[in-house]
Chains A and B, each alone.
Chain A
Amino acid sequence: MNSKQSLGQRLKKSWDHGDIPMWLMLLPTIFFILVMSVYPFAWLIRYVFYDYNGFKAYFIGFDNFKRMVTDGIYWKSVLHTFEYAGLKLLFVLPLSLVTAVLLQRKRFGSGLIQGIYFLPTVISSAVYSLIWYFIFATYNGVLNGFLQAAGIIKQPIDWLGSSKTAMIAVVIVAVWGAFGNYMILLISGLTGIPSDVYESAEIDGANGIQTFFKITLPMLGPVLKVVIMLAITTAFKDYQSILVLTGGGPNNRTHVMFSYIFQMVFGTSAAAAQLQIGYGSVLSIVSALIVGIVTIIYLNFSKKMDDIS
């Protein structure tokens, strides 16, 4: 029957089914994904076998791969990425969950506080990192001044200049910059939980903690899964604020994978070194694989969350 339909009829059917409008509406997005993501990635892959400084490409075979295997700074930056992401997630997820639960109910001022917590999300990370750079200053810095006045420390801490504290400092900024965003996402998840479930729990005599762990958390599962995935991928890809705060220093202590790659491909303002686009491409692909593997592992672990609700 279908094969006997004219082209016009088939088109009309597709139109009525919504197939053609769907593709037409997807077209701009597909176009931009191809131009902005697929093409640059293909461009990048071209150079993995080359020594390329942006002007002339010299074929060097597998030298870039050999170098990657023995590049101590890169592999340390991979470890730093896990350290940074682990610390960031450790603090940002509980903090955003707790603030979401506290602020989801309409109380006096809760909207204002939500707005304040969300504010870093709409500010450029380069801008707020610069503000933090001054907060962390060793000489007459706000944070050191506060800690000294409170009697917590005697000598000012060189937050960004010491290998012992630089990573903690960049994690503080990362947590501050991200938790408001996840808080808003979790609040939207919380508002989707029907109130009669809470009412039943109340009738059954459940206290606040029991309600949180037995009702709120399980029913937030699907949203929490997405939020955690977003948090993981973002944490592994963060580098902008690190470049502003420490530039990967001191002594490469805060270099994460993408800050190292950025400096390789785009250079640093301080050192007039040749760009290493070919080698940077190899590192980008390996780093993308690492982030991809972490995400897949997480998705496998988190499958259970879907079963709830």
Chain B
Amino acid sequence: MRKSKKLVAMGIAGIMAVSALSACSSGGNDTGSTTAAKEAETTTAASGGETKKEAASSGKVKVTVWTNNRHDLEYMNKVVDEFNKKNDHIEVDYVVQTENYENLISMAANSGQSPDLFSQVNPEDFKNFADNGIIQPINDYMTDEFKKVNEVDQHLYEGCNVFGDKIYWVPGGKRSGSRFIYNKEIFDKLGIEVPKKLSDLPAVAKQITEAGAGDYYGIIFPGASGPFERWLEHSAEMSGITAYNYKEGKYDFSGFKPYLETVRQMFSDSSVFPGSASMKIDPVRVQFSEGHVGIHANASQEATVLTEQFPAKIEWGVAQLPTLDGEIKGSEACNPNSGWMMSAFTEHSKEAWEVMEYFQSEEVLKGYLEGGYSLPISKYMEDKIDKTKIGRMADFTGADYEAVLPVAPSVTPEGENYRDALWNACLPEGAAIDDTIAKLNKTYNDALDKEVKMGKTKRLVIKDYDPLHPSAGTVEYLDK
């Protein structure tokens, strides 16, 4: 009796162990695979990455594509389906990975399960991916047609999509710089205009708040979703102020002081929407679309957000950000996007290139840009698209003061990230502004000196840097 009890207990323990192990092996890749090829993928997933790529139905080569873009999924699914129908030797498996995207790619690369293609990553990770051999240059694959449509030669940004003469990805579109998105009804009612000078902003915000009498407020910030880079940093760029002094090759945050003082002023005037300090971006958008806010700020993604995700109940307008003295003295940063990177580990680079070429072909890009998923970056595509189809995205186009800024050396300071620290200094109970700036200047420049010495990064110097033409200067990378 005792023995049989033990055997039963052991049996249960054994079953638990086996079930736990099998759960571990099957739980890894719960992703949003969207094509018919998913079925083929899941049946072979258990046998590991080796066989995965051979497994596409009807003898086609499978090209796995990862993306962290969800907003264009409907369109991209159609593109992929169309490709899979038309192409006789490639089957694309298109997978959306939104959580921890860069980490997932590097983990997949380290464990031999890298996707063949993936949507481009930010400059920080781009450097890591290139330095560590996770991605490969595409120079040898690019055709004349691809170069023509994407105007490759005019969109080479050191540290963003190229290193030296190695081109790793090519942008198919861009995200605009930030704009003031304002409640037109409130502005019309009060007979006021969106300020062009930063120093005029507190008075306008105060006037709106007083008129709102608790129903609406002057301005809103997404305090918990990167408030500083949402517009303050971009307004500074337009005034010729950047965190990195390209001419001298060092960090300098002192130019941000008037911005921090302005925000503090608006907080102390109670002109900022209540609760802004802890608000995430979506609640901010909801409050704006409900008409409770005079001024909100963001880049071109708001065009689809305020028409589809949270359709605005008010009439809204888009205006250029204010600058320090009302004049534009520097370029506002915009972000090249809608590009693809090729894994250095792909066994099917020729086929992966075919897919990349299709994704950035005139036909696919036209639909993509007309769908309002991105703004055209090449003049060629700008001329090809029907601008009447892009809806409110049109409000974010045509800013001649936008450019891609040189990528400043990435460093790890012994202290807060500058965007967090500067925003904290904007808060009414935050640290003193001068102390914050002095501390950042020290921690960032100490980190830069140290990391240049370690060989982790290089000091970027552009002696003839012109903020209005950021790409025109002579770039030097120094080891000291």
Residues of A within 8 A of B (CB): 18, 21, 24-25, 27-28, 31-32, 51, 53-56, 58, 60, 67, 70-71, 73, 137-139, 141, 156, 158-164, 166, 245-247, 249-252, 266, 268-274, 276
Query: Are A251's CB and B427's CB within 8 A?
Result: yes
Closest B residue to A164 by CB, please name it. Answer: B429
Q: Is the CB of A161 within 8 A of B275?
A: yes
Q: Which A residues touch B417, using CB under 8 A? A: 268, 271, 273
A28 touches B20 (CB 8 A): yes
Expressed in whole angstroms, the Cα–Cα distance for A249 and B124 within the complex equals: 25
Check A249–B277 contact: CB distance below 8 A.
yes
Say whether B431 contacts A25, CB under 8 Å. Answer: no
Which of B42-50, B200-208, B218-226 binds A? B218-226
Cβ-defined partner of A246 (8 Å) among B10, B224, B419 = B224
Note all chain A residues with C-beta closer than 8 A to B132. Answer: 55-56
The listed residue (B122, B124, B287) touching A139 by CB distance below 8 A is B287
- Bound: A162/B411 CA distance, A: 31
Apart from A24-B13, A161-B279, A274-B124, list 15 A-B contacts with CB within 8 A: A18-B6, A32-B20, A55-B106, A67-B414, A158-B277, A160-B275, A162-B277, A163-B427, A249-B224, A251-B427, A252-B416, A270-B420, A271-B226, A274-B411, A274-B412
Q: Which of B1-44 contact A (CB under 8 A)?
A: 6, 9-10, 13, 16-17, 20
Interface assignment of B415: CB less than 8 Å from any CB of chain A: yes
> B438 an interface residue at 8 Å Cβ cutoff?
no
Alpha-carbon separation in the docked complex, A24 to B430 (Å):
58
**Within B268-308, which residues are at the interface with A (CB < 8 Å)?**
273-279, 283, 287, 292
B61 smallest CB distance to A (angstroms): 29
Tell me how many residues of B have a C-beta within 8 Å of chain A.
46
Within B216-275, the residues touching A (CB, 8 Å) are 223-226, 229, 273-275
Question: Interface 1/0s, chain B 414-442, versus A by CB < 8 A?
Answer: 11110110001001011100000000000
B131's contact among A56, A139, A160, by CB below 8 Å, is which?
A56
- A274 and B224: CB pair below 8 A? no
Distance from A291 Cβ to chain B, minimum over Cβ atoms (Å) = 24
Q: In angstroms, how far is the closest chain B Cβ from the Cβ of A52?
A: 10
CB distance from A192 to the nearest CB of B (A): 25
**Bound: A250/B421 CA distance, A:** 11
**Can you report 14 A-B residue pairs in the complex whose CB atoms are below 8 A from each other?**
A51-B456, A53-B412, A71-B414, A73-B415, A160-B278, A163-B427, A246-B224, A249-B224, A270-B225, A270-B420, A271-B420, A273-B417, A274-B124, A274-B410
Inter-chain contact B10/A25, CB cutoff 8 Å = yes
Closest to A70 in B: B414
Contact of A166 among B225, B278, B424 (CB under 8 A): B278
Verify A138–B13 contact, CB threshold 8 A. Answer: no
B13 touches A271 (CB 8 A): no
Contact B424 A250 (CB under 8 A): yes
Interface pair B275/A158, CB less than 8 Å apart: yes
- Going nearest first, the 8 A-B pairs with the smallest beta carbon separation are A138-B275, A161-B277, A160-B278, A28-B17, A270-B226, A161-B278, A138-B274, A163-B429
Report B's interface with A, CB cutoff 8 A: 6, 9-10, 13, 16-17, 20, 100, 103, 106, 122, 124, 128, 131-132, 223-226, 229, 273-279, 283, 287, 292, 410-412, 414-417, 419-420, 424, 427, 429-431, 454, 456
Chain B residues with Cβ below 8 Å from A71 are 414-415
Complex contact A54–B225 (CB within 8 A): no
The answer to whether B278 touches A246 (Cβ under 8 A) is: yes
Contact status A53-B128, CB under 8 Å: yes
Q: Kindly list chain A residues whose C-beta atoms are within 8 Å of the C-beta of B20.
A: 28, 32
Residue contact A158 to B412, C-beta cutoff 8 Å: no
Residue of A nearest to B9 (CB): A25
CA distance A73 to B283 in the complex (A): 28
Quick one: closest A residue to B419, CB to CB?
Answer: A271
**Whole-angstrom distance from the CB of A228 to the nearest CB of chain B?**
31
Q: How far is the CA of A55 from the CA of B132 in the complex (A)?
A: 7
Most buried by A among B10, B274, B416, B427: B274
Query: In the complex the two chains form, is A24's CB within 8 Å of B277's CB?
Result: no
Q: Give Cα distance in the complex from A269 to B101, angstroms.
A: 11
Instruction: Give chain B residues whose Cβ lies under 8 Å from the Cβ of A53.
Output: 128, 412
Complex CA distance for A269 and B420, rounded to whole angstroms:
12
- The verdict on A21 contacting B10 (CB below 8 Å), with A51-B412, A247-B224 known, is yes
**Which one of A137, A162, A251, A266 has the greatest number of beta carbons of chain B within 10 Å?**
A251
Contact A137 B275, beta carbon cutoff 8 Å: yes
Beta-carbon contact of B9 and A21 below 8 Å = yes
* Given A55-B128, A55-B132: A25 in contact with B412 (beta carbons within 8 A): no
- Inter-chain CA distance A21–B431, complex, in Å, is 62
Closest chain B CB from A215 CB (angstroms)? 38
Shortest A77–chain B CB gap in Å is 12
What chain A residues lie within 8 Å of B128 (beta carbons)?
53-56
Listed residue (A31, A55, A246, A247) with the most chain B CB atoms within 10 angstroms of its CB: A55
Q: Complex: how many Å from CA A271 to CA B415?
A: 13
Assembly CA distance A31 to B417 (angstroms): 40
A-side contacts of B277, CB under 8 Å = 158, 160-162, 249-250
Q: Report B-chain residues with C-beta under 8 Å of the C-beta of A249.
A: 223-224, 277-278, 424
